[in-house]
Structure 1
């Protein structure tokens, strides 16, 4: 079986991130017996849809493989992470971690946005102009997904070039990936350890709240300078680093979505 791990690196910002964590991706690819593929140009020069939505074309770009893992660059891989390829059954063609909608972590993280708190899984899809369907399981984060390109590539390419529009709540690649794979019975929910988002752990847990509060005690001048220089949403304090190191030790993939400071393994 031909396996690959795919990274999408377009722009100087992402090249810099990759230069710092390249080795972990190479090691994990070797561990899984997979090739490491770098896509460093837009997949659609016409930009029929935005760059993030072009992730829908990745299956078509990787059709020479039997199974592929896509990873965002702002992810740290734990040394104990098993091969994610073992978690996609042969009769399933797309796997990702479901958003923790309905949990305390989710509610505390998004408590400042009532619309998101009131959004059921069905409303999430219908608000983005997808029809309600009994096989829907929920929304996903697009930072980690594993797929069988030969089974799904044409379908997602067709969607990409279709006239469908998600409207004001556009979630780029995430909603189409989740919706189409779920209504077709292709979807497999991966264990949560394969996409642990720091955002939920900081905002949605008691321990994370303490880390957040500790950072808020730091001088606003220092934080303003750091934020501007690094484009992070908070300072990587000692408490933050220790907190994240524990997350990495206890899980498989830790995801720094939302501009949280990346802590490398």
Structure 2
């Protein structure tokens, strides 16, 4: 190994490999600018024990035996060509992530995790786990042997809570349980659909198409394809950033969006 850092993502299944055609070149280029290796985790290890693909993030634990720090980036994230290094923005010994306290179901998740996993001294903001920076001091966050992980992933209590997320509440609870601090990198490094003014998304560096509808104006894979093309065009990227009204009109004038809208109206 020649590099001390890695930018890692998880990809398996046809749907995510289709996304990867558009996002991986941008993520790989970002890794190169950060002087980091680009690592694709493409084989599930915990599917039998934990069920959901989201828990494959716990493979980062072993990766941190090799690298001093790892930035995890979900495969459904489009990265801008001028994104600053999240490694440089995350102090050593802290978890680098983006605060989702004001937008997500963090209150519900705080309550449920502590009912299932035990009370903790919860000091951190509630972060989105789709982008995280970890180092060897914080690797214990993603230990696949973590106490309570299997209970959280497969417990019967899940039937009582609609749309309860998988790894994210657990990782938030665990960070507080272990007394780890979170460095809030801001929503520009993980811009999800909870930022409702979607036409401003190109002001951010990492656009995250989490959930079934991405940024709410068409099929998710098509959104990723179109936005990755904008990221590759200096003119379109600059225009989208400078004139958000143009971006709003362009998004809704796109043929793919019009077809999507009609399909929903007729369904």
Q: CA RMSD in A?
A: 2.7
Within 5 Å, which residues of 2 pair with 1:56-95? 56-92=58-94, 94-95=95-96
Bigger relative contact order, structure 1 or 2 (CA pairs below 8 A, ≥6 apart) = 1
Aligned twin of 1:152? 139
Structure-to-structure mapping, 1:98-247, within 5 angstroms: 98-101=99-102, 106=103, 116=105, 119=107, 122-127=110-115, 129-149=116-136, 151-153=138-140, 156-159=143-146, 163-165=150-152, 167-168=157-158, 169=161, 170-192=164-186, 193-197=188-192, 199-202=193-196, 208=197, 243=199, 246-247=200-201
Displacement, 1:67?
A: 0.2
SS in 2 for 1:182: helix
Q: Contact between 2:149 and 2:170, CA under 8 Å: does it hold in 1? A: no
Aligned counterpart, 2:255: none
Moved more, 165-174 or 63-72: 165-174
> Whole-Å Cα distance in 1 between the matches of residues 86 and 67 of structure 2?
15
Matched, 1:252 2:205: yes
Moved >4 Å (runs of 4+): 160-163
Alignment check: 8 A CA contact 1:95 1:190 kept? yes
TM-score, structure 1 as length reference: 0.69
What are structure 2's unaligned runs of at least 5 residues?
215-222, 232-267
1:186 CA displacement: 2.0
Question: How far apart are 1:5 and its partner, in Å?
Answer: 0.5
Which shifted more, 27-36 or 147-156? 147-156
Distance 2:86 2:5 in 1: 11
Where 1:201 maps in the other structure, the secondary structure is coil
Deviation at 1:90, TM superposition (A): 1.6
SS in structure 2 at match of 1:97:
strand
**Paired residues, number:** 208
CA distance, structure 2, for counterparts of residue 257 and residue 160 of structure 1: 27
Question: C-alpha displacement at 1:146, in angstroms?
Answer: 0.8
Tell me the secondary structure at the aligned position of residue 147 of structure 1: strand
TM-score when scaled to structure 2?
Answer: 0.68
Cα 1:185–1:86 change in 2 (3 A) is farther
